Structure 1
Amino acid sequence: MLFTKKSLTEDGFTGFRPLDELDPMRIPQGPGVFAILRPAEFEPVFLSKSAAGTFKKKDPSLKRDALESEWVPEASVLYIGKASAGSQGNRGLRKQIQEFLDYGRGRPTVVWDARLIWQLRDASDLIIAWKEFPASEVNAAEAAYHAGFVAAHGRLPFANLVQARTKK
Protein backbone atom coordinates (compact mmCIF):
# COMPACT_ATOMS: atom_id res chain seq x y z
CA MET A 1 0.00 0.00 0.00
CA LEU A 2 1.21 3.50 -0.81
CA PHE A 3 -0.55 5.17 2.13
CA THR A 4 -2.10 7.94 0.08
CA LYS A 5 -5.69 9.16 0.07
CA LYS A 6 -6.30 7.09 -3.05
CA SER A 7 -4.86 3.87 -1.62
CA LEU A 8 -6.65 4.33 1.71
CA THR A 9 -9.94 4.94 -0.11
CA GLU A 10 -9.41 1.79 -2.17
CA ASP A 11 -8.75 -0.06 1.09
CA GLY A 12 -12.09 1.04 2.55
CA PHE A 13 -11.25 4.19 4.53
CA THR A 14 -13.93 6.88 4.53
CA GLY A 15 -14.41 10.33 6.03
CA PHE A 16 -11.47 12.34 4.70
CA ARG A 17 -12.47 15.55 6.47
CA PRO A 18 -10.23 18.40 7.63
CA LEU A 19 -9.98 18.33 11.41
CA ASP A 20 -11.44 21.83 11.72
CA GLU A 21 -14.54 20.82 9.70
CA LEU A 22 -15.16 17.46 11.35
CA ASP A 23 -18.62 16.79 12.77
CA PRO A 24 -18.09 14.05 15.38
CA MET A 25 -21.71 12.92 15.00
CA ARG A 26 -20.85 11.76 11.46
CA ILE A 27 -18.11 9.43 12.72
CA PRO A 28 -19.15 5.81 13.20
CA GLN A 29 -19.37 4.56 16.77
CA GLY A 30 -17.85 1.14 16.14
CA PRO A 31 -14.22 0.11 16.60
CA GLY A 32 -11.71 0.71 13.84
CA VAL A 33 -8.53 2.32 12.62
CA PHE A 34 -8.08 5.98 11.75
CA ALA A 35 -5.42 7.89 9.86
CA ILE A 36 -4.32 11.51 9.92
CA LEU A 37 -3.14 12.78 6.52
CA ARG A 38 -1.66 16.03 5.36
CA PRO A 39 -3.22 17.95 2.45
CA ALA A 40 -1.23 17.99 -0.80
CA GLU A 41 0.43 21.39 -0.27
CA PHE A 42 0.98 21.03 3.48
CA GLU A 43 4.45 21.97 4.69
CA PRO A 44 5.35 21.36 8.34
CA VAL A 45 5.93 24.33 10.59
CA PHE A 46 6.74 23.11 14.08
CA LEU A 47 5.53 25.02 17.12
CA SER A 48 7.93 25.44 20.02
CA LYS A 49 5.10 24.46 22.39
CA SER A 50 2.40 21.91 21.67
CA ALA A 51 -1.25 22.97 21.61
CA ALA A 52 -2.12 19.63 23.22
CA GLY A 53 -3.18 19.14 26.78
CA THR A 54 -1.05 17.58 29.46
CA PHE A 55 -1.03 13.91 30.36
CA LYS A 56 -0.16 13.02 33.95
CA LYS A 57 1.14 16.59 34.28
CA LYS A 58 3.68 16.02 31.48
CA ASP A 59 4.24 18.60 28.73
CA PRO A 60 3.68 16.92 25.33
CA SER A 61 6.12 19.24 23.52
CA LEU A 62 9.27 17.96 21.85
CA LYS A 63 12.28 19.99 20.73
CA ARG A 64 12.41 21.07 17.09
CA ASP A 65 15.25 18.70 16.18
CA ALA A 66 13.28 15.76 17.58
CA LEU A 67 10.23 16.76 15.53
CA GLU A 68 12.32 17.17 12.39
CA SER A 69 13.86 13.73 12.88
CA GLU A 70 10.39 12.14 13.09
CA TRP A 71 9.07 13.87 9.94
CA VAL A 72 8.69 11.59 6.88
CA PRO A 73 8.89 14.07 3.96
CA GLU A 74 7.44 11.82 1.26
CA ALA A 75 4.54 10.50 3.35
CA SER A 76 0.93 11.68 3.20
CA VAL A 77 -0.05 9.78 6.34
CA LEU A 78 1.15 11.38 9.58
CA TYR A 79 -0.48 9.05 12.10
CA ILE A 80 -2.28 5.71 12.22
CA GLY A 81 -4.26 4.93 15.35
CA LYS A 82 -6.93 2.59 16.58
CA ALA A 83 -10.20 2.86 18.41
CA SER A 84 -11.12 -0.30 20.27
CA ALA A 85 -14.55 -1.08 21.66
CA GLY A 86 -13.22 -0.72 25.21
CA SER A 87 -13.83 -3.01 28.15
CA GLN A 88 -17.45 -1.85 28.43
CA GLY A 89 -18.06 -1.88 24.66
CA ASN A 90 -18.88 1.84 24.66
CA ARG A 91 -15.79 3.29 22.98
CA GLY A 92 -15.02 3.19 19.29
CA LEU A 93 -14.04 5.63 16.56
CA ARG A 94 -16.33 8.52 17.51
CA LYS A 95 -15.22 8.61 21.15
CA GLN A 96 -11.52 8.07 20.37
CA ILE A 97 -11.44 10.74 17.65
CA GLN A 98 -13.36 13.18 19.87
CA GLU A 99 -10.77 12.65 22.62
CA PHE A 100 -8.00 13.16 20.05
CA LEU A 101 -9.57 16.49 19.00
CA ASP A 102 -10.14 17.55 22.62
CA TYR A 103 -6.49 16.81 23.35
CA GLY A 104 -5.48 19.10 20.49
CA ARG A 105 -7.61 21.84 22.04
CA GLY A 106 -5.52 21.68 25.19
CA ARG A 107 -7.72 19.43 27.31
CA PRO A 108 -6.00 16.79 29.44
CA THR A 109 -6.59 13.30 28.10
CA VAL A 110 -5.08 9.88 27.57
CA VAL A 111 -4.36 10.30 23.82
CA TRP A 112 -0.64 10.78 24.46
CA ASP A 113 0.61 8.70 21.52
CA ALA A 114 -0.49 11.18 18.82
CA ARG A 115 0.91 14.25 20.55
CA LEU A 116 3.26 15.30 17.72
CA ILE A 117 0.27 16.21 15.53
CA TRP A 118 -0.52 19.07 17.90
CA GLN A 119 2.94 20.59 17.54
CA LEU A 120 2.26 21.37 13.88
CA ARG A 121 1.18 24.98 13.33
CA ASP A 122 -1.60 24.12 10.87
CA ALA A 123 -2.81 20.91 12.52
CA SER A 124 -6.46 21.91 12.00
CA ASP A 125 -5.89 21.62 8.23
CA LEU A 126 -4.94 17.96 8.51
CA ILE A 127 -7.38 15.36 7.23
CA ILE A 128 -8.82 12.41 9.13
CA ALA A 129 -10.15 9.18 7.67
CA TRP A 130 -11.32 5.97 9.29
CA LYS A 131 -12.19 2.36 8.62
CA GLU A 132 -14.39 0.22 10.82
CA PHE A 133 -13.27 -3.24 11.90
CA PRO A 134 -14.81 -5.91 14.11
CA ALA A 135 -13.51 -5.46 17.66
CA SER A 136 -11.55 -8.72 17.42
CA GLU A 137 -9.59 -7.41 14.40
CA VAL A 138 -8.68 -3.85 15.47
CA ASN A 139 -5.31 -4.61 17.09
CA ALA A 140 -4.17 -6.79 14.18
CA ALA A 141 -5.36 -4.18 11.66
CA GLU A 142 -3.45 -1.36 13.35
CA ALA A 143 -0.32 -3.54 13.57
CA ALA A 144 -0.64 -4.45 9.88
CA TYR A 145 -0.98 -0.80 8.82
CA HIS A 146 2.05 0.15 10.92
CA ALA A 147 4.08 -2.71 9.42
CA GLY A 148 2.93 -1.76 5.92
CA PHE A 149 3.93 1.85 6.43
CA VAL A 150 7.35 0.82 7.73
CA ALA A 151 7.77 -1.44 4.69
CA ALA A 152 6.85 1.44 2.36
CA HIS A 153 8.77 4.25 4.11
CA GLY A 154 11.37 2.57 6.29
CA ARG A 155 9.89 4.01 9.48
CA LEU A 156 6.65 4.77 11.30
CA PRO A 157 4.44 7.76 10.43
CA PHE A 158 5.49 11.10 11.92
CA ALA A 159 3.26 11.01 15.02
CA ASN A 160 3.50 7.25 15.72
CA LEU A 161 6.30 6.84 18.22
CA VAL A 162 5.64 3.17 18.98
CA GLN A 163 4.92 0.44 16.47
CA ALA A 164 1.75 -1.55 17.17
CA ARG A 165 2.14 -5.30 17.39
CA THR A 166 -0.47 -8.00 17.18
CA LYS A 167 -1.36 -9.14 20.68
CA LYS A 168 -1.20 -12.87 21.22
Structure 2
Amino acid sequence: MNDVIQILKKDGFEGFISVENLMKNHKIIPAYSGVYLFLRLNDSEPEFLERGTGGFFKRKTPKNPNVSVAELRDNWISNEAIVYIGKGKSLKTRLSSYLRFGEGEFATHWGGRYIWQLKDSRELIVCWKTMNEDPRVVEEKMIAKFKEEHGGRRPFANLID
Protein backbone atom coordinates (compact mmCIF):
# COMPACT_ATOMS: atom_id res chain seq x y z
CA MET A 1 0.00 0.00 0.00
CA ASN A 2 2.94 2.36 0.43
CA ASP A 3 3.25 2.43 -3.38
CA VAL A 4 0.20 4.69 -3.34
CA ILE A 5 2.27 7.49 -1.79
CA GLN A 6 4.80 7.38 -4.62
CA ILE A 7 2.00 7.40 -7.20
CA LEU A 8 0.28 10.35 -5.52
CA LYS A 9 3.55 12.29 -5.21
CA LYS A 10 4.13 11.83 -8.95
CA ASP A 11 0.61 13.23 -9.47
CA GLY A 12 1.51 16.39 -7.52
CA PHE A 13 0.14 15.56 -4.07
CA GLU A 14 1.97 16.95 -1.05
CA GLY A 15 1.68 16.83 2.71
CA PHE A 16 1.48 13.17 3.70
CA ILE A 17 1.08 14.08 7.36
CA SER A 18 -0.81 12.14 10.00
CA VAL A 19 -4.16 13.43 11.22
CA GLU A 20 -2.69 13.64 14.72
CA ASN A 21 0.14 15.91 13.58
CA LEU A 22 -2.17 18.07 11.48
CA MET A 23 -4.47 18.52 14.47
CA LYS A 24 -1.48 20.00 16.32
CA ASN A 25 -0.44 22.29 13.47
CA HIS A 26 -2.99 23.47 10.91
CA LYS A 27 -0.60 26.19 9.74
CA ILE A 28 1.24 23.85 7.39
CA ILE A 29 -1.89 23.34 5.26
CA PRO A 30 -1.86 25.63 2.20
CA ALA A 31 -4.58 28.28 1.91
CA TYR A 32 -5.17 27.49 -1.78
CA SER A 33 -7.95 25.64 -3.52
CA GLY A 34 -7.45 21.98 -4.18
CA VAL A 35 -8.31 18.39 -3.42
CA TYR A 36 -7.22 16.26 -0.48
CA LEU A 37 -7.14 12.61 0.45
CA PHE A 38 -7.28 10.67 3.69
CA LEU A 39 -5.21 7.50 3.44
CA ARG A 40 -5.09 4.44 5.66
CA LEU A 41 -1.81 2.64 5.02
CA ASN A 42 -2.43 -0.18 7.48
CA ASP A 43 -3.22 -3.46 5.66
CA SER A 44 -5.21 -4.90 8.56
CA GLU A 45 -8.97 -4.60 8.79
CA PRO A 46 -9.97 -1.53 10.80
CA GLU A 47 -11.66 -1.45 14.16
CA PHE A 48 -14.83 0.63 14.03
CA LEU A 49 -16.13 2.67 16.95
CA GLU A 50 -19.82 2.74 17.84
CA ARG A 51 -19.32 6.34 18.89
CA GLY A 52 -16.66 8.19 16.96
CA THR A 53 -14.71 11.27 17.90
CA GLY A 54 -16.57 13.54 15.48
CA GLY A 55 -18.69 16.38 16.77
CA PHE A 56 -22.33 16.87 15.96
CA PHE A 57 -23.59 18.53 12.79
CA LYS A 58 -24.93 22.07 13.25
CA ARG A 59 -25.55 23.78 16.58
CA LYS A 60 -29.25 24.65 16.40
CA THR A 61 -30.55 21.19 15.55
CA PRO A 62 -27.62 18.84 16.25
CA LYS A 63 -27.47 15.64 14.23
CA ASN A 64 -25.53 12.64 15.46
CA PRO A 65 -22.73 11.86 12.96
CA ASN A 66 -22.39 8.23 14.04
CA VAL A 67 -23.77 5.30 12.08
CA SER A 68 -23.94 1.62 12.96
CA VAL A 69 -20.81 -0.52 12.87
CA ALA A 70 -22.65 -2.70 10.32
CA GLU A 71 -23.00 0.28 7.97
CA LEU A 72 -19.32 1.11 8.39
CA ARG A 73 -18.39 -2.50 7.57
CA ASP A 74 -20.62 -2.40 4.49
CA ASN A 75 -18.84 0.71 3.21
CA TRP A 76 -15.31 -0.51 3.96
CA ILE A 77 -13.14 -1.58 1.02
CA SER A 78 -10.39 -3.96 2.13
CA ASN A 79 -6.83 -3.37 0.95
CA GLU A 80 -7.58 0.14 -0.30
CA ALA A 81 -5.52 3.07 0.98
CA ILE A 82 -7.83 5.91 -0.09
CA VAL A 83 -10.63 6.28 2.44
CA TYR A 84 -11.84 9.79 1.57
CA ILE A 85 -11.54 12.25 -1.30
CA GLY A 86 -12.40 15.87 -0.53
CA LYS A 87 -12.04 19.36 -1.94
CA GLY A 88 -11.92 22.92 -0.74
CA LYS A 89 -11.73 26.48 -2.02
CA SER A 90 -9.18 26.91 0.75
CA LEU A 91 -7.56 23.66 1.83
CA LYS A 92 -6.48 25.29 5.09
CA THR A 93 -10.02 26.39 5.98
CA ARG A 94 -11.65 23.14 4.88
CA LEU A 95 -9.18 20.75 6.48
CA SER A 96 -8.92 22.80 9.69
CA SER A 97 -12.70 22.66 10.05
CA TYR A 98 -12.74 18.95 9.30
CA LEU A 99 -10.00 18.25 11.85
CA ARG A 100 -11.79 20.30 14.54
CA PHE A 101 -14.90 18.23 13.81
CA GLY A 102 -12.78 15.12 14.42
CA GLU A 103 -11.88 16.54 17.82
CA GLY A 104 -15.56 16.71 18.78
CA GLU A 105 -16.47 20.26 17.75
CA PHE A 106 -19.63 21.14 15.84
CA ALA A 107 -19.42 20.78 12.08
CA THR A 108 -21.03 22.56 9.19
CA HIS A 109 -20.05 19.85 6.70
CA TRP A 110 -21.60 16.39 6.82
CA GLY A 111 -19.28 14.65 4.36
CA GLY A 112 -16.49 12.35 5.43
CA ARG A 113 -17.84 11.76 8.92
CA TYR A 114 -17.25 7.98 8.82
CA ILE A 115 -13.52 8.71 9.22
CA TRP A 116 -14.07 9.59 12.87
CA GLN A 117 -15.52 6.15 13.63
CA LEU A 118 -12.23 4.48 12.73
CA LYS A 119 -10.34 3.65 15.90
CA ASP A 120 -7.08 4.61 14.20
CA SER A 121 -8.41 7.83 12.60
CA ARG A 122 -5.56 9.90 14.04
CA GLU A 123 -3.06 7.63 12.27
CA LEU A 124 -4.57 8.32 8.85
CA ILE A 125 -2.36 10.22 6.44
CA VAL A 126 -3.58 13.43 4.79
CA CYS A 127 -2.23 14.72 1.50
CA TRP A 128 -3.37 17.48 -0.81
CA LYS A 129 -2.92 18.92 -4.25
CA THR A 130 -3.36 22.63 -4.91
CA MET A 131 -4.72 23.81 -8.24
CA ASN A 132 -6.06 26.72 -10.23
CA GLU A 133 -8.87 24.70 -11.79
CA ASP A 134 -12.19 24.09 -10.03
CA PRO A 135 -11.52 21.52 -7.29
CA ARG A 136 -15.13 20.28 -7.54
CA VAL A 137 -14.48 19.07 -11.07
CA VAL A 138 -11.23 17.37 -10.06
CA GLU A 139 -12.87 15.73 -7.02
CA GLU A 140 -15.73 14.43 -9.19
CA LYS A 141 -13.25 12.96 -11.68
CA MET A 142 -11.23 11.34 -8.90
CA ILE A 143 -14.31 9.75 -7.35
CA ALA A 144 -15.51 8.59 -10.78
CA LYS A 145 -12.12 6.98 -11.46
CA PHE A 146 -12.14 5.34 -8.02
CA LYS A 147 -15.61 3.93 -8.69
CA GLU A 148 -14.47 2.55 -12.05
CA GLU A 149 -11.63 0.73 -10.33
CA HIS A 150 -13.78 -0.57 -7.45
CA GLY A 151 -16.94 -1.94 -9.02
CA GLY A 152 -18.98 1.22 -8.61
CA ARG A 153 -18.07 1.75 -4.94
CA ARG A 154 -17.00 5.12 -3.56
CA PRO A 155 -14.18 5.59 -1.06
CA PHE A 156 -15.20 4.51 2.45
CA ALA A 157 -16.15 7.96 3.78
CA ASN A 158 -17.46 9.51 0.55
CA LEU A 159 -21.21 9.25 0.90
CA ILE A 160 -22.08 11.03 -2.36
CA ASP A 161 -20.41 11.42 -5.75
The two structures have a TM-score, normalised by structure 2, of 0.90
Determine the structure 2 residue equivalent to 1:133: 131
> Which residue of 2 is the match for residue 87 of structure 1?
none
1:76-95 aligned at under 5 Å gives the runs: 76-84=81-89, 92-95=90-93
Determine if contact 1:13/1:129 at 8 Å carries over to the other structure.
Answer: yes
Superposed displacement of residue 33, structure 1? 0.2
Once residues 105 and 44 of structure 2 are traced to their aligned partners in structure 1, the CA distance between those partners, rounded to angstroms, is 25
RMSD over aligned CA atoms reads 1.4
8 Å contact from structure 2 (residues 45, 78) kept in 1: no
Partner in structure 2 of residue 75 of structure 1: 80
Taking the TM superposition and a 5 Å limit, the aligned residue runs for 1:17-166 are 17-22=17-22, 23-41=25-43, 43-56=45-58, 57-84=62-89, 92-134=90-132, 136-154=133-151, 155-163=153-161
Q: 1:88 aligns to what?
A: none
- TM-score, length of structure 1 as denominator length: 0.87
Q: Which runs of 5+ in 1 are unaligned?
A: 85-91, 164-168
Long gaps (5+) in structure 2: none
What per-residue deviation string (whole Å, max 9, x for no partner) do you get for residues 45-86 of structure 1? 0001121111131100110110000001021000000002xx
